[in-house]
Amino acid sequence: MVKNRIEKDLIGSRNIPDSALYGIHALRAKENFPDQTAFPIEWYEAVGIVKQACYETCLAYYRAIKIKYPGKKFPFRIISDEILSVLVEKAKEISEDDKFRGKEELQKVIDEYNNKIKNLVEKKKQELA
C-alpha cells in the first residue's frame, strides 16, 4: 500500500505519495496542464540548486538575527536550524539526483537502437525490392 501525505493550499487538500518529490501545486499543475512532455534534466538540477540557495540563505539570515538580537520576538516565524538543514540536504539531493539523469540516458540508448532497427528495416526493404 502506498503511503500518502496530505498537503493543503487555498483550494483545499490533496493526498500525495510520501515518495513524491513534488507538492500540491505541482499536482494541480499536472491536472490542469496534462501535457506529458518531460522537463529536461537541467530543470530539475536548477530547481534543486535554487531551493538549496534559498534555504541556505534563510538559515544564515536566521542565525545572524539570533546573534544580533538575542531573545527578541520577531513578527515572523523563524524556522528551526534543524528543519532548514534537512531542507538544504533534500534540495541538494534533488539537484544531484541520478534518477533524472538515468532516465534521460536510457532514453538516448533506446532512441539510438530504434534508429538502428529502422535503418536495418529500410535497408532490407531496398534489398527485397
User: According to the model, what pLDDT value does residue 127 have?
Assistant: 83
C-alpha torsion sign, points 72, 74, 79, 84: negative
Percent of the chain beyond pLDDT 90? 39
Q: What is the pLDDT of residues 43-93, one digit of tens each?
A: 888 988 999 999 999 999 999 999 999 999 999 888 899 999 999 998 888
Q: How far apart are CA 26 and CA 29, in angstroms?
A: 5
Distances 13 to 6, 28, 31, 36, 117 between C-alpha atoms, Å: 6, 11, 14, 24, 48
Q: Which residue has the higher pLDDT, 112 or 17?
A: 17
List all residues 6 or more positions away from 62 whose beta carbon is below 8 Å from its beta carbon.
78, 79, 81, 84
User: Is the pLDDT at 95 greater than 90, yes or no?
Assistant: no
Local confidence band at 116 (pLDDT 50, 70, 90 cut-offs): confident
Q: Where do the structural domains in the chain lie, given as residue ranges?
A: 1-37, 41-96, 101-129
Give the pLDDT band of residue 107 (cuts 50, 70, 90).
low
pLDDT of residue 33: 83
CB 6 within 8 A of CB 15: yes
pLDDT for the residue 9: 93
Section 1-5 average pLDDT = 88
Report which of residues 112 and 87 the model is more confident about. 87
